[in-house]
Amino acid sequence: MYQTDMYEGLLAETITMTGTNGDSINAYFARPLGPGPYPAVVLAHHMPGWDQWYRETTLKFAHQGYITISPNLYFRSGHGTPEDVAAKVRADGGIPDDQAVGDLAGAMKYVRELPYSNGKVGIFGTCSGGRHSYLAACRAPGFDAIVDCWGGRVVMPPDQLNPKNPVSPLDYTKDLPCPILGIFGNEDGNPTPEQVNQHEAELKKHGKVYEFHRYDGAGHGFFYHDRSAYRQAQAVDGWQKTFAFLEKYLIPSR
């Protein structure tokens, strides 16, 4: 726990990393200053893009002691303001699941190979980033923990599948190799409470280690302090559960 006479310092910068198909993409990266070793977290940004909230959240995780990387999953859609880029992606029906998984796996590889890494890497995502995190954790071997915050379309009926999203993420549940923390609002329309129950049942069926927390009075995106969806009490509790979970699984010595 922080004490007022402790030294704190962060390094944060935009970097270039290798993603799907060996493509170079950019990412926002932050780490505590010091020799480490530190655990790491990959952040999968949400549908509104690689935006201010995700850059701030990169700093938040680093401030908590994690090497943190937030890859620009929309890199291939061009450059402009995060909203303009995300609007193009929205118009194009999102990005291919395979591409997102490859970029997130590349981010995992990048942080794990750093000399001050402790070798443990988690993944965190909200909204579409929660869904992409789940897909990456199931399909890209090597993640040690996942935090899925209100990931929509994890449960996908067959009529929603398409070439970019060919498989319902739920169908990969048997392959999930690590513990999962799920954070959801009971007033969310996507995922609905029923879909969250379905997801939990699938995890239980396959004997996975999971914690699901459902919040009354909260809908979609209740961590977003810059949006009307923000719910202070639920968000504070959700963040506490997030960091307790990551500490449990990414810092073995504690």
Partner 1 sequence: MCTMIVEKVKVDGSGKGTSGWFKLEQANVSYDHPFNAPLEHALNIDFVNESQGVGARVAVELSEQAARELVKTILAVLDQADAGGHLARRA
Contact positions vs partner 1 (CB under 8 A): 47-48, 77-81, 83-91, 93-95, 127-128, 152-153, 160, 165, 188-190, 219-221, 227-229
Q: In 3-state terms, what secondary structure has residue 222?
A: coil
Closest contact distance (angstroms) between CB of 48 and partner 1 is: 6
| Closer CB to partner 1, 81 or 240, in the complex | 81
Distance CA 161, CA 76 (A): 22
Let me know: does 17 contact 107? Beta carbons within 8 Å: yes
80 vs 117: CA distance, rounded Å: 33
Rounded to a whole number of angstroms, the distance between the first and last alpha carbons of the chain is 12
Identify whether the C-beta of residue 159 lies closer than 8 Å to the C-beta of residue 77. no
Q: Output the smallest distance, CB 136 to partner 1, in A.
A: 15
Q: Which is nearer to partner 1, 57 or 128 (CB)?
A: 128
Beta-strand ranges (E) seen in 134-232 are: 145-149, 180-185, 210-215
Q: Would the CA dihedral through 14, 71, 53, 124 be positive or negative? A: negative
CB of 56 to partner 1, least distance (A): 16
Antiparallel, parallel or unpaired: β 67-71 and 117-126: unpaired
Pick between residue 51 and residue 144 the one whose CB is nearest to partner 1.
51
Q: Nearest-CA neighbor of 146 among 208, 205, 94, 192?
A: 208
Among residues 6 and 91, whose Cβ is nearest to partner 1?
91
Q: Which is nearer to partner 1, 90 or 109 (CB)?
A: 90
In whole angstroms, the minimum distance from the beta carbon of 85 to partner 1 comes to: 5
- Closer CB to partner 1, 10 or 47, in the complex: 47
Least Cβ distance, residue 231 to partner 1 (angstroms): 13
CB of 189 to partner 1, least distance (A): 6
